[in-house]
Amino acid sequence: MNLHSGTPFWPLRDGLSAVFPPLGGAEDTEVAILGAGITGALIAHSLAEAGVPCVVLDRRDAASGSTAASTALLQYELDVPLHRLASMIGEQNAVRVYKLCLRSLDRLGQIDRSLGGGHGFRRRQSLQGAARKAHAAALRREADIRSRNGFDVELLDRRSLRKLCALPYHHALLSEDAAEVDAYLLTGSLLMAAAKAGANIHDRTAVTRMRRARNGNITLWTDRGHCVRARHLVIATGYETRPYLPDGIVSLVSTYALVTEPQPEWPGWPENCLIWETGRPYCYLRRTPDGRVIAGGYDEPLTDPAKRDEMLPAKAAALLRKLRRLLPGACCETAWSWCGTFAETRDGMPHIGPRPDGPPNVYFALGYGGNGITFSQLASEIIRDLVVEGQSPEADLFRFDRPSARD
Ligand SMILES: Cc1cc2nc3c(=O)[nH]c(=O)nc-3n(C[C@H](O)[C@H](O)[C@H](O)COP(=O)(O)OP(=O)(O)OC[C@H]3O[C@@H](n4cnc5c(N)ncnc54)[C@H](O)[C@@H]3O)c2cc1C
């Protein structure tokens, strides 16, 4: 599957984020990780830190799947607001999920620092604007439930919003806790750190077949003619999970993004916040370390990459018009645009852990939804605990057979 097309910004800006040799012979390990995107990289890093030997395989260059196309806003808010998630899984569990995502932001910051920084990780506020007047009531409900549960948020009406910025929203929810990153660069650094700690990373090596022996060990065959044998397998193949999952677990959609030419200032922008909106078509904005704006969203329920790509020029033009409407005082000009495939779950939560009908030593790390990277971090902790301890206190929330994931 072609995961993205057009001109994603990060690989252009950063070049190759890391280089690894293809698999050159048979290898035996404790954990095989399929996929060297941000998810596989975080898992490899966390296992390597825990002293667990692992081998990572990717058919592309490391980090060049969806991770290369990511706009990389880091938010603890799921695509499903807390007040709606609470009605699906109960307030206590919904708050637990939101708090775990909040903790993931802190952990990602710690990881960035432990790797020496330089991955564009910055703490940000996030401002969610009511796209329509009628959305103010939902934002109020959201502000209530979050404040009641200790999240640092403030509901702004039009007057207080005007004092802060020039964005034309009726109401907005201002959250103190968000961040942004260059996920492509961070993935390269994570993989290099894991390799230094003993992990074997091989990109340009496709896994073509796998088999589980009676004793539970897994063998992966590759297009290089060599095998990897492991006690555990982690499937971190992002949106390319069709071969490993039954239909109906996730819905694929197409999403679009552009990055502007740099500007010394963005008049009307509130304090370098991440900006996103209620309602559809969904749209969000962030800044880059070199003074640009990334605008993304305008998703379409298209699964065919050719149809997705056909719509790129029209979608990029629509995103630019939107940007100009939101920031009328700024000079917005598109530098590059791109599109990618994306996936959603019904409850906005990721799938992490073994399938109920599958082997207990084959774990999935599927961070679907708008905050896939936050979920990747969560998955890295849960899977490390499942491998090392045989259990994780959080695994139950994200299991495949939770009722809220089904239609
Ligand atoms: C345009 C866009 C914007 C986004 N914006 C955000 C955002 O703002 N915030 C956020 O948190 N998330 C965002 N996301 C989602 C986020 O980027 C993804 O959740 C994340 O990058 C997924 O990482 P991954 O490692 O799971 O998948 P990938 O990066 O796709 O890595 C999976 C890897 O598995 C490899 N693979 C698959 N099958 C095989 C095989 N058989 N053999 C060997 N290798 C295989 C692939 O080659 C691939 O490199 C966005 C996504 C897109 C497309």
SS3 for 155? Answer: strand
In this predicted structure, the answer to whether residue 72 has a pLDDT above a threshold of 80 is: yes
| 339 and 197 share one domain | no
| pLDDT at residue 158, as a whole number | 92
How far is Cα 178 from Cα 50, in angstroms, rounded to an integer? 28
| pLDDT at residue 52, as a whole number | 98
In this predicted structure, the answer to whether residue 202 has a pLDDT above a threshold of 70 is: yes
CA of 150 to the centre of ligand 1 (A): 32
| 309 and 191 share one domain | no
| pLDDT at residue 260, as a whole number | 98
**What's the CATH number where 35 sits?**
3.50.50.60
Closest C-alpha to ligand 1, atom 31: 37
| 194 and 332 share one domain | no
Q: Is residue 317 part of a domain?
A: yes
| pLDDT at residue 406, as a whole number | 77
Question: What is the mean pLDDT of the segment spanning 18-37?
Answer: 97
334-352 confidence digits (pLDDT tens): 999 999 988 888 899 999 9
| 226 and 360 share one domain | yes
**Segments forming the whole domain that contains residue 263:** 251-344
What whole-number percentage of the chain has pLDDT above 70?
A: 100
In this predicted structure, the answer to whether residue 369 has a pLDDT above a threshold of 80 is: no
Closest C-alpha to ligand 1, atom 17: 70
Closest C-alpha to ligand 1, atom 4: 70
In this predicted structure, the answer to whether residue 365 has a pLDDT above a threshold of 90 is: yes
CA of 34 to the centre of ligand 1 (A): 12
Average pLDDT, whole number, for the chain?
95
| pLDDT at residue 375, as a whole number | 97
Q: Is residue 306 part of a domain?
A: yes
| 335 and 256 share one domain | yes
Question: What is the mean pLDDT of the segment spanning 3-18?
Answer: 93
Q: Is residue 269 part of a domain?
A: yes
Number of domains within the chain: 2
| 226 and 358 share one domain | yes
Which one of 313, 344, 375 terminates a domain? 344
CA of 37 to the centre of ligand 1 (A): 6
With residues binned 3-state (H G I as helix, E B as strand, rest as coil), the percentages for the chain, rounded to 5, are: 35, 25, 40
Look at the block and give the residue holding tokens 């499942």: 386
pLDDT level of residue 368 (50, 70, 90 thresholds): confident
| Number of residues that this document lists for the chain | 407
| pLDDT at residue 14, as a whole number | 96
CA of 103 to the centre of ligand 1 (A): 21
**Which of 379, 378, 385, 402 has its CA nearest to residue 100?**
378
**Which of 182, 158, 155 has its CA nearest to residue 170?**
158
Which one of 323, 344, 365 terminates a domain? 344
Name the maximum alpha-carbon separation found in the chain. 67
| pLDDT at residue 407, as a whole number | 66
| pLDDT at residue 22, as a whole number | 98
| 332 and 256 share one domain | yes
Record the pTM.
Answer: 0.97
Which one of 344, 360, 382 terminates a domain? 344
CA of 334 to the centre of ligand 1 (A): 24
Closest C-alpha to ligand 1, atom 25: 37
125-179 confidence digits (pLDDT tens): 999 999 888 999 999 999 999 999 999 999 999 999 999 998 999 899 999 999 9
**What's the CATH number where 304 sits?**
3.30.70
Cβ(8)–Cβ(65) under 8 Å? no
CA of 145 to the centre of ligand 1 (A): 31
Q: Is residue 131 part of a domain?
A: no
- Taking CB atoms and a 6 Å cutoff, what residues make up the pocket around ligand 1? 3-4, 34-40, 57-60, 65-67, 69-73, 206-207, 236-238, 240, 255, 257, 296, 340, 342, 367, 370-374, 376
Closest C-alpha to ligand 1, atom 3: 70
CA of 387 to the centre of ligand 1 (A): 23
| 210 and 265 share one domain | no
pLDDT level of residue 282 (50, 70, 90 thresholds): confident
CA atoms within 13 A on the CB side of 31: 32
| 239 and 293 share one domain | no
CA of 32 to the centre of ligand 1 (A): 18
- Window from 146-160, 171-185, 233-247, 288-302 with minimum mean pLDDT: 233-247
- Position in ligand 1 atom list of the atom nearest CA 67: 21
Closest C-alpha to ligand 1, atom 48: 65
If 0-12 CB within 10 Å is exposed, 13-18 middle and 19+ buried, where does residue 150 land? exposed
Q: Is residue 136 part of a domain?
A: no
